[in-house]
């Protein structure tokens, strides 16, 4: 059990505590932000709808917890101008991190240039110091070779992180997708040791055991010293309670009524 406690403590600081529920309210954001600083340390970030960025940034002042938001979410649409406007507004409102859904349907249909151009254009409006995380939607891409190609495309287009999923489709984070994406990151590291590219599994990661499985893949592919909040995040809503319960040696109570 002590191993699980150690893993849970390690995972806690890697959580992007998320509320992307369609019915999310300002009150929900206040509750979310109140959970970020625990007796066992702080989470890395909250991840919220763009309309709540300013509120979250205000409520997290002085905590060191980052504010992440989502753009082109969840559909990965093709109106790049609209995504640019959405991104600019989120940054003006105080977003530290932007999670962009790449136009994965265009990518899968063979329009790789379009997908790449959208990422490049969003990257261009993101200032120094703000992270760009690109969501591939691996459960919809499906084909392992295409997931690898999408990882490479996002990395080459300027992603700081590549993220598995929106949490809004049938298949979200999987260990198979994690393996492919981390391999692409490892290959990129061999080509350019200076640049840091992170990995974020999201959707369906609920327990300390789930977290442990993803950390094990990262340790195996990237080495034991690689994982930190600069290189690895979990996108999750229910995971934090499970991690705290594990650290405190309590029975797990599932407080998350939402599937994210």
Query: How far, rounded to the nearest angstrom, does the alpha carbon of residue 249 sit from its chain's CA centroid?
Result: 27
User: How many CA atoms within 13 Å lie on the side-chain side of 90?
Assistant: 31
Q: What whole-number distance in Å separates Cα of residue 61 and Cα of residue 208?
A: 28
- In this structure, the number of other CB atoms found within 10 A of the CB of residue 33 comes to 23
Q: What whole-number distance in Å separates Cα of residue 73 and Cα of residue 82?
A: 12
Q: Give the DSSP letter string of 53-87.
A: HHHHHHHTTTT--EEEEEESTTT--S-HHHHHHHH
250-to-1, 40, 144, 243, 245 alpha-carbon distances in Å: 12, 14, 38, 10, 5
Strands of the 45-48 sheet, one edge to the other: 198-200, 161-163, 131-135, 97-101, 66-71, 45-48, 15-19, 234-236
Residue of 66, 133, 163, 206 marked active site: 163
Cis peptide before 74 (omega within 30 of 0): yes
Q: What whole-number distance in Å separates Cα of residue 153 and Cα of residue 79?
A: 19
Please indicate whether residue 99 is annotated as part of the active site: yes
Please indicate whether residue 96 is annotated as part of the active site: no
Residue of 96, 99, 160, 241 marked active site: 99
Q: What whole-number distance in Å separates Cα of residue 107 and Cα of residue 93?
A: 30
Residue of 16, 200, 206, 210 marked active site: 200
Q: Catalytic amino acids? A: 99, 163, 200
């Amino acid at each position: 059990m002590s191993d699980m406690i150690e893993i849970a403590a390690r995972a806690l600081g890697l959580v992007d505590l998320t509320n992307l529920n369609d019915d999310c309210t300002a009150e929900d954001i206040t509750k979310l932000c109140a959970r970020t600083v625990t007796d066992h340390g702080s989470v890395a970030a909250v991840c919220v709808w763009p309309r709540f960025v300013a509120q979250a940034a205000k409520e997290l002042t002085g905590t060191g917890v980052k504010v992440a938001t989502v753009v082109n979410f969840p559909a990965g649409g093709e109106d790049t101008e609209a995504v640019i406007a959405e991104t600019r507004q989120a940054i003006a409102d105080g977003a530290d991190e932007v999670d962009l859904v790449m136009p994965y349907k265009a990518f899968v249909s063979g329009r790789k240039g379009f997908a790449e151009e959208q990422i490049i254009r969003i990257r261009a409006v993101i200032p120094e110091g703000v992270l760009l995380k690109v969501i591939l939607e691996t459960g919809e891409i499906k084909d392992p070779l295409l997931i690898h190609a999408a990882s490479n495309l996002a990395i080459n287009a300027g992603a700081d992180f590549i993220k598995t999923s929106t949490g809004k489709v049938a298949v979200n984070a999987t260990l198979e997708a994690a393996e492919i994406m981390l391999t692409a990151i490892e290959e990129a590291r061999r080509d350019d040791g200076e640049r840091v590219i992170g990995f974020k599994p999201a959707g369906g990661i609920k327990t300390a055991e789930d977290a442990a499985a993803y950390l094990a893949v990262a340790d195996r592919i990237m080495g034991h010293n690689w994982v930190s909040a600069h290189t690895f995040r979990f996108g999750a809503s229910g995971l934090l309670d499970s991690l705290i319960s594990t650290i405190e040696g309590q029975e797990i109570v599932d407080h998350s009524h939402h599937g994210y």
